[in-house]
Structure 1
Amino acid sequence: MSGTISLLIAIAFAVYLFIDAPKHNKSRWLWAILGFIFGPIALGIYLIQTGRKVLGWIITIVVGLGYILMIILVVLGAVLFAKGM
């Protein structure tokens, strides 16, 4: 079920970028593919490049911090698992 939701969100990013990219003289196919693969990071970078810098930086920073937090939790879990706790 969560895989389906993730796929739908990735498709939503791709469709938005596909539709909006030509309005800013950007390649629609490139941004749609990047949006599908990288999701919110691609959306944040796209918004920064198209002049919507505040929203783009907010999205990019929040997603980046989320990725960093996820990496820290995985490493912490691996260390605790290795110690046998």
Structure 2
Amino acid sequence: MSGIISFIVEIIIAIYLYVDAPKHNKSPWLWAILGFFFGPFALGIYFIKTGRKVVGWIMVIVVGLLYLAFIVLVVLAAVLFANGFAP
């Protein structure tokens, strides 16, 4: 279920970037593809590039911290599985 929701969010971000990019003389296809594959991170970068710097930086920092937390949790889980959960 969460995979479907994230897919829908990525589609919405890609559509928004495709529609909004020509207003700022940016390539709509490039930003739509970036928005689809990188989602909120690409949206934050787009906001920074188009002059909405505060919202863009907040989005980039929050998404970056969430990605970092996910990576730390995956590495921690791998270490725990490798050691067999033994102290």
TM-score, normalization: structure 1? 0.96
State the alpha-carbon separation in 2 of the partners of residues 76 and 2 from structure 1: 23
CA RMSD after TM alignment: 0.7
Segments of structure 2 that go 5 or more residues without pairing to the other structure are none
1:20 and 2:16 correspond: no
Q: 1:3 Cα deviation (Å)?
A: 1.7
Aligned ranges 1:1-85 → 2 under 5 Å:
1-85=1-85
Quick one: distance in 1 between partners of 2:20 and 2:34? Answer: 14
> Whole-Å Cα distance in 2 between the matches of residues 72 and 4 of structure 1?
24
- AA aligned to 2:81 is F
Q: Distance in 2 between matches of 1:45 and 1:32?
A: 13
> Partners in 2 of 1:7 and 1:16 — Cα distance?
14
Instruction: Give the AA of the match of 2:37.
Output: I
Q: Kindly, what percent of the aligned residue pairs are identical? A: 69
Structure 1 unaligned segments of length 5 or more: list them.
none
Partner AA of 1:61 in structure 2: I
Separation in 2 of the partners of 1:4 and 1:72?
Answer: 24
Kindly tell me the number of residue pairs found equivalent between the two proteins: 85
* Distance (whole Å) between structure 1 residues aligned to residue 68 and residue 4 of structure 2: 24
Whole-Å separation in 1 of the counterparts to 2:7 and 2:65: 22
- Secondary structure, counterpart of 1:51 in structure 2: coil
